């Protein structure tokens, strides 16, 4: 399924996938957005960022307030409701993977689906990275399609963090990415003459989010390294 999906995405591009999701969400509403995002959390190969953009597009379509992005942003409750639905779908999907690992432990890996996404190599890799980076691995996982689900399952299995700490870390990361994509879709539906042009802005948004995350991580590492050096010199 992964191979077929990525082959489809590479051949037809973001625009076709986005159009398909918009059509689906237009017919079934926000509950469909919630459901697809939940499935993303379960590790199914559905592009979460494109799903969120499509959610933003249909929230603009459903809004009775016309005008520019700013006018719609101020007057439309639909887009803010869509953001809440999206956050709920994203966090519930992630939390489900965490709790499955926490409740069933390594027994979960005997199930074929989980054995495929949590290979022995990935299990060891996550263990090593968690020992090195701690909860920052959970934060980074939100931006790592393909590794997000295995990392969250393994975090639950190993019981290295409490659910509250997991949810807070994942939630902060989601607050960076989810609004960007929802409001990008909302903006695109109002400002662009052709929604196919959103393809370009989705790619720019992906680079932008990764750049922000990279700068944040580098800044935190510099602060951590500086504090470590000060502690070594002063003993405090």
**Alpha-helix runs per DSSP H in 112-236:** 112-117, 120-133, 136-141, 148-158, 163-191, 198-234
Whole-number Cα distances in Å, 113 to 8, 92, 213: 22, 19, 30
Instruction: Please tell me the predicted confidence (pLDDT) of residue 199.
Output: 67
| Cα(213)–Cα(134) distance, integer angstroms | 16
Q: Which residues of 94-104 are buried (b: 16+ CB within 10 A; e: fewer)?
A: bbbbbebbbeb
- Number of Cβ within a 10 Å radius of residue 20: 14
pLDDT band at 102 (very low <50, low <70, confident <90, very high): very high
Q: Is 4 exposed, middle or buried (0-12, 13-18, 19+ CB in 10 A)?
A: exposed
Q: What's the pLDDT at 193?
A: 64
More confident residue, 133 or 2: 133
Provide the mean pLDDT of the chain: 84
Determine the pLDDT at residue 177: 87
| C-alpha of 203 from chain center | 15
**Dist. CA 142–CA 145, nearest whole Å:** 8
Mean pLDDT of 129-145: 86
Q: Is the pLDDT assigned to residue 97 strictly greater than 90?
A: yes
């Amino acid at each position: 399924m992964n191979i077929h999906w990525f082959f489809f995405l590479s051949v037809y591009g973001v625009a076709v996938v986005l159009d398909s999701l918009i059509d689906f969400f237009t017919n079934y509403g926000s509950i469909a957005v919630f459901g697809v995002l939940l499935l993303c959390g379960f590790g199914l190969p559905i592009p979460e960022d494109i799903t969120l953009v499509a959610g933003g597009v249909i929230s603009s379509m459903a809004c009775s307030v016309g005008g520019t992005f700013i006018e719609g942003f101020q007057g439309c409750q639909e887009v803010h409701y869509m953001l809440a639905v999206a956050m709920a779908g994203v966090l519930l999907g992630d939390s489900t993977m965490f709790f499955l690992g926490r409740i069933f432990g390594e027994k979960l890996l005997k199930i074929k689906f989980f054995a495929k996404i949590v290979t022995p190599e990935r299990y060891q890799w996550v263990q090593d990275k968690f020992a090195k980076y701690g909860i920052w691995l959970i934060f980074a996982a939100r931006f790592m399609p393909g590794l997000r689900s295995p990392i969250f399952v393994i975090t639950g299995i190993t019981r290295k963090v409490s659910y509250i700490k997991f949810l807070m870390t994942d939630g902060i990361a989601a607050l960076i990415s989810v609004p960007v994509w929802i409001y990008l879709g909302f903006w695109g539906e109002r400002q662009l003459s052709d929604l196919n042009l959103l393809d370009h802005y989705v790619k720019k948004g992906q680079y932008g989010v990764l750049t922000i995350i990279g700068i944040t991580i580098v800044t935190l590492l510099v602060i951590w390294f500086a504090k470590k050096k000060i502690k070594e010199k002063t003993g405090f």
